[in-house]
Amino acid sequence: MPSPEIILTIVKVALMIGGLMTAAAYFVLLERRVAAWTQDRIGPNRVGMPLTNWRLWGLGQPLADGVKFITKEEYTPAHVDKPLFILAPISILVAALAVFAAVPVGSYLPVPESWGLGDKVDLVVAPHMDVGMLYVFALSSVAVYGVVLGGWASNNKYSFIGGLRSSAQLVAYELPLGLGILGVVLAAGSLDLEEIIRAQVRDGVWYAFAQPLGFIVFGVAAFAEAGRLPFDLPECEQELVGGYHTEYSSLKLLLFLVAEFLHMILASFLIVILFFGGWSLPFGLTGAADAEQLSLAMGIFRLLVMSGKVFLVIVFFMLARWSWPRFRYDQLMALALKVMLPLGILNLVSLAVFYELRANITGGGGWGYEMLQLLACWVVCGAAWLAVAYARPLVADNRPRRDINSYRIDSQV
């Protein structure tokens, strides 16, 4: 008989994987409905309950898609590097799922003592992980391997270019992502995601408002890491016919597509946890940060608040997809390395200075200093915006120069 903790962990893992796979499937439907709504179409609303006439607003669509994917030919082309070709989708999906081991989906729920689990159950697979943020950061970087492996193993020019572009994009945006996280870590004084949420409740302000510049840097980088428009250069349906997964079909393609949606869900979770206070609502509606015992209703309410916030961020992701054209590749890289990276460093340095000053004031400076710091962060954000608007690093003249022999320039670089 395994211990109750082991059983609890297995139940949590099963719920998490099942929930995430279902969520990914239904977000595909939601994405199509949002796309249709944006473009003034109806979207998929036909497939409902099998064997009846119930349409149920198209809720059967993900099931039908799944069945279709499974009954397609599981085909591996002869010109590919077979082990790597199969390893790529598996690795990208395992990494995309395993990240969620450290991501809390709520606060905790009270349980009876007789279950042998203590008096509460944390709503996260690996609770109280002191390096939670590092774990998430590390595993989300593994996505690069899946993309590179897929692009390289396919032995197809579209895949190859897509894989190259994608790897460069993912590694370039990892830097601003890390800098944005550093600002939050500095403010919360912990790498534990649950502790970061509690720190926001204690501070009484969500970090999206306390460090707006960090939020912008992190948000843009999270969009790019998720590979969503306007940063979907890896995919580029129109130019690269799918990029690194051009040669993939049936379930191997499904693994890639699900992993992509999981990346988006992860990005939404991180944005909510790091910058929008996780399960908390303003005015103390969700209770104190360090409440020792929650009622069951409050535990469920926190879970719902967090899910609602994540849902809103995902809808924002989907609306952004249909509102923005794709970046050109040089603009994309310039945005990462010439705009977001310096802004991230500026954000980190300004926050470090503010907190260092605060540490040198006895008692932390109190409420007045906190307001002053908030104001200063917004001033830094505004100044950074003006500086970027003035310097315009994204504007590059790409017209061919008639007065210079382009062959000579190429040989110089």
Partner 1 sequence: MESHLLPILIFMGGAAALAVGLLVVGGLLGPRRNSAAKEMPYESGMDPIHDARRRFDVRFHLVAIAFLIFDVELLFLYPWAVASRQAEGIDAAVGDAQRMSAAVGLGDGFQIGFSRGLVFVEVMVFIGLLTVGLIYAWRKGVLQWR
- Tell me the window of 168-176, 295-303, 370-378, 379-387 that interacts with partner 1 (CB under 8 A): 168-176
C-alpha dist (Å) from residue 341 to 177, 284, 329: 9, 36, 17
> Could you say whether residue 222 binds partner 1 (CB under 8 A)?
no
Tell the smallest beta-carbon distance from residue 224 to partner 1 (Å).
13
Q: Look up residue 1 and give its amino acid.
A: M
Output 164 or 320, the one with its CB closest to partner 1.
164
Looking only at residues 227 through 266 of this chain, which bind partner 1 when binding is defined by CB under 8 A? 241, 246-247, 250-252, 254-255
* Smallest distance from partner 1 to CB 37, Å: 31
Q: Cβ 129 to partner 1, closest distance in Å?
A: 5
Question: Smaller CB distance to partner 1: residue 86 or 320?
Answer: 86
Minimum distance from residue 293 beta carbon to partner 1 (Å)? 19
Give which of 374, 380, 373 is closest to 358, Cα–Cα.
373
Please answer whether residues 220 and 176 qualify as being in contact, where contact means their C-beta atoms are separated by less than 8 angstroms: yes
The H or E element spanning position 122 is: strand 120-122
x/- contact string, 115-154, with partner 1 (CB under 8 A)?
A: ----------xxxxx----xx----------------x-x
- How wide is the angle at C-alpha 207 spanned by C-alphas 177 and 12, nearest 5°? 75
CB of 336 to partner 1, least distance (A): 9
The reply on whether position 343 binds partner 1 by CB under 8 A is no
Residues comprising the chain, all counted: 413
| Nearer to partner 1 (CB atom), residue 74 or residue 288 | 74
Mark residue 77 as left, alpha or beta (left: phi above 0; alpha: psi -120 to 50; beta: remaining): beta
Beta carbon of residue 357, minimum distance to partner 1 (angstroms, whole number)? 10
206 touches 276 (CB < 8 A) = yes
Residue 58 or 162 having the CB closest to partner 1: 162
**Per-residue mark of binding to partner 1, 191-210 (x: CB under 8 A):** x-------------------
Cβ closer to partner 1: 187 or 306?
187
- Parallel/antiparallel/unpaired status of strands 108-110 and 120-122: antiparallel
Stretch near partner 1 under the rule CB under 8 A, chosen from 226-234, 265-273, 276-284, 349-357: 349-357
Contacts to partner 1 from residues 33-92, by CB under 8 A: 69-75, 77-79, 86, 89-90
Q: Which stretch binds partner 1 (CB under 8 A): 42-50, 157-165, 271-279, 318-326?
A: 157-165
Buried b (16+ CB within 10 A) or exposed e, 73-87: eeeeeeebeeeebeb
Window 261-320: residues binding partner 1 (CB under 8 A):
none
List 109's β-bridge partners, or say none: 121
Q: Which of 116, 144, 153, 125 is nearest to 13 (CA)?
A: 125
Question: Which H helix or E strand runs over 359?
Answer: helix 341-360
Stretch that binds partner 1, among 40-48, 273-281, 335-343, 381-389 (CB under 8 A): 335-343
Cβ-based nearer residue to partner 1, 178 or 219? 178
**Closest separation between CB of residue 305 and partner 1, Å?**
24
CB-based burial, 309-340: b 16+ in 10 Å, e otherwise: bbeebbeebbeebeeeebbeeebbbbbbeebb
Q: Supply the DSSP symbol for 393.
A: T
Nearer to partner 1, 55 or 68 (CB): 68
Please state the φ and ψ torsions of residue 81, each to the nearest 5 degrees: -85, 100
CB neighbour list of residue 347: distance below 8 Å, 6 or more residues apart: 179, 180, 183, 211, 213, 214, 217, 380, 384
CB 291 within 8 A of CB 302: no
Question: Residue 356 interacts with partner 1 (CB under 8 A)?
Answer: yes
Contact between 179 and partner 1 per CB under 8 A: yes
- For residue 393, say if its preceding peptide bond is cis, omega within 30 degrees of 0: no
Residue 338 engages partner 1 in binding (rule: CB under 8 A)? yes
